[in-house]
C-alpha cells in the first residue's frame, strides 16, 4: 500500500530561515570570517616559522612528558615520516584548522557546560539540541555554512566547531554535577560564594572529566577537518580528496597515514594530560 499523498514544507521553512540569517546578519558573519581567517593564517604562519627539527623536538618532549621516552621517539618519527612524504605544509594547515576549531569549541563549550550544570532548566533545553548535533551526519554541517562563508578553510572551521563542541559541553556538565556533595557542603560551611564554589571547588574537582571532553573534541575536530576538504579546506584532507578524484593509491595512502599519525599523537598526548590531572586529583584527595 502506498504512503498517503501528504507533503510537508519543513525544509522550505529551514531554507527561509537560512536566507533570513544570510540577509540580516551579514556583518556578524563577516566578523566571524575575519577572526577565523586571521586566526588560521596566524597559527599556520607560526607553525611554518618553527624549524622542522625544533618541531620534532617539541613533539618528542610532549610524548616523553605525558607518556614515555619511547612514545616521544615514536611520535617524532611519525612527524618526520610525514615530512618525507612532502606534506609538511599540508600537515601544518590541518593542525591550524584543528587548533582554531578546538579553541573556539572550548570557548563555547566549557561555559555552556557550566551553565548546564548550574541550571537544570537550561540543561533540559540543551540536551536534545546536543543529541541532534551528535547524531546529525557530519556532511550535513557543510551545507548551511557555505551559504554564509566563501569556499575555503572558514566554512570547514565553522562546521568543525558545530560537530566537535558537544563532547566538551556534556563532559563539563557531567564533571561538575559529579563533584562529591560532601566537598560542596564543606565549602558552603566555610561561607563560599557561588562563584568561589565554582572556581575553587567544582572546576578543580571536575578537571579530569573536562580534559576527557577536550580529548574527544580534539579528535572529532581532526576528523571533521578532513571532511571539510569537500568545501575547499586545505591541508591533508584536500590531498585525500585529490587522491580519490584521481584514484591515486600512493597519494591516498601517504595522506591517509599522515592523518592517522596526527590522530595518534593528539589522542595519546591529550589523554596523557587527562591522566596526569586525574593522578594529581587522586594525590590531593
pLDDT, tens only, 44-92: 999 999 999 999 999 999 999 988 889 999 999 999 999 999 999 999 9
**The pLDDT value given to residue 83:** 93
**Structural domain contains residue 256:** yes
Q: How confident is the model at residue 283 (pLDDT cuts 50, 70, 90)?
A: low
Q: Quote the pLDDT of residue 165.
A: 92
Reference 184, options 114, 112, 176; nearest CA is: 176
The answer to whether residue 79 is domain-embedded is no
CA gap 224, 161 in Å, rounded? 9
Residue 253 covered by a domain: yes
Q: How confident is the model at residue 151 (pLDDT cuts 50, 70, 90)?
A: confident
Is the predicted pLDDT of residue 242 greater than 70, yes or no?
yes
Model confidence at 8, pLDDT cuts 50, 70, 90, reads: low
Domain extent at residue 227: 26-49+85-284
Can you tell me the mean pLDDT for 173-180? Answer: 88
pLDDT band at residue 280 under the 50/70/90 scheme: low
Higher pLDDT, 119 or 9: 119
What would the mean pLDDT of 118-145 be, rounded to a whole number?
A: 86
Tell me the pLDDT band of 7, cut-offs 50, 70 and 90: low
> 208 pLDDT exceeds 70?
yes
| 125 is a domain residue | yes
Higher pLDDT, 113 or 151: 113
CATH of the domain at 92: 1.10.3720.10
Percentage of the chain modeled with pLDDT above 70 = 94
pLDDT confidence of residue 257: 93
pLDDT-derived band of residue 285, with 50, 70 and 90 as boundaries?
low
Instruction: Give the confidence band of 1 by pLDDT, cuts at 50, 70, 90.
Output: low
**In this structure, is residue 93 part of a structural domain?**
yes
16 within domain boundaries: no
Mean pLDDT of all residues in the chain?
86
Helix axis angle, 52-66 to 69-84, nearest 10° = 150
Q: Are 255 and 243 in contact (CB under 8 A)?
A: yes
- Residue 111's alpha-carbon distances to 119, 133, 176, in angstroms, are 12, 18, 12
Domain total for the chain? 1
78 found inside a domain = no
Distance CA 125, CA 122 (A): 5
Distance between CA atoms of residues 172 and 105, nearest Å? 12
pTM of the model as a whole: 0.87
**What is the per-residue pLDDT for 277?**
67
Answer yes or no: is pLDDT of 284 > 80: no
pLDDT value at 243 more than 80: yes
**131 falls within a domain:** yes
Amino acid at each position: 500500500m502506498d504512503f498517503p499523498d501528504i507533503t510537508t514544507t519543513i525544509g522550505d521553512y529551514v531554507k527561509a530561515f537560512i536566507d533570513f540569517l544570510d540577509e540580516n546578519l551579514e556583518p556578524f558573519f563577516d566578523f566571524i570570517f575575519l577572526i577565523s581567517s586571521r586566526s588560521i593564517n596566524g597559527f599556520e604562519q607560526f607553525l611554518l616559522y618553527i624549524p622542522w627539527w625544533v618541531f620534532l623536538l617539541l613533539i618528542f618532549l610532549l610524548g616523553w612528558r605525558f607518556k614515555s621516552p619511547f612514545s616521544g621517539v615514536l611520535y617524532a618519527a611519525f612527524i618526520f615520516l610525514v615530512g618525507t612524504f612532502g606534506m609538511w605544509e599540508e600537515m601544518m594547515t590541518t593542525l591550524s584548522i584543528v587548533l582554531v576549531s578546538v579553541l573556539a569549541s572550548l570557548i563555547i563549550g566549557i561555559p555552556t557546560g557550566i551553565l548546564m550544570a548550574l541550571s537544570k532548566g537550561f540543561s533540559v533545553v540543551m540536551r536534545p539540541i546536543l543529541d541532534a548535533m551528535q547524531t546529525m551526519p557530519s556532511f550535513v554541517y557543510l551545507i548551511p555554512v557555505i551559504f554564509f562563508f566563501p569556499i575555503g578553510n572558514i566554512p570547514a572551521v565553522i562546521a568543525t566547531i558545530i560537530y566537535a563542541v558537544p563532547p566538551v559541553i556534556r563532559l563539563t556538565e557531567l564533571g561538575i554535577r559529579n563533584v562529591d556533595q560532601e566537598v560542596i557542603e564543606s565549602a558552603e560551611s566555610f561561607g563560599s560564594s557561588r562563584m568561589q564554589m565554582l572556581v575553587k571547588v567544582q572546576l578543580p574537582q571536575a578537571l579530569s572529566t573536562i580534559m576527557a571532553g577536550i580529548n574527544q573534541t580534539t579528535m572529532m575536530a581532526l576528523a571533521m577537518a578532513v571532511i571539510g576538504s569537500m568545501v575547499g579546506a586545505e591541508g591533508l584532507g584536500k590531498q585525500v580528496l585529490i587522491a580519490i578524484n584521481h584514484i591515486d593509491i600512493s597519494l591516498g595512502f601517504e595522506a591517509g597515514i599522515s592523518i592517522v599519525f596526527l590522530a595518534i599523537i593528539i589522542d595519546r598526548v591529550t589523554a596523557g594530560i587527562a591522566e596526569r590531572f586525574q593522578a594529581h586529583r587522586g594525590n590531593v584527595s
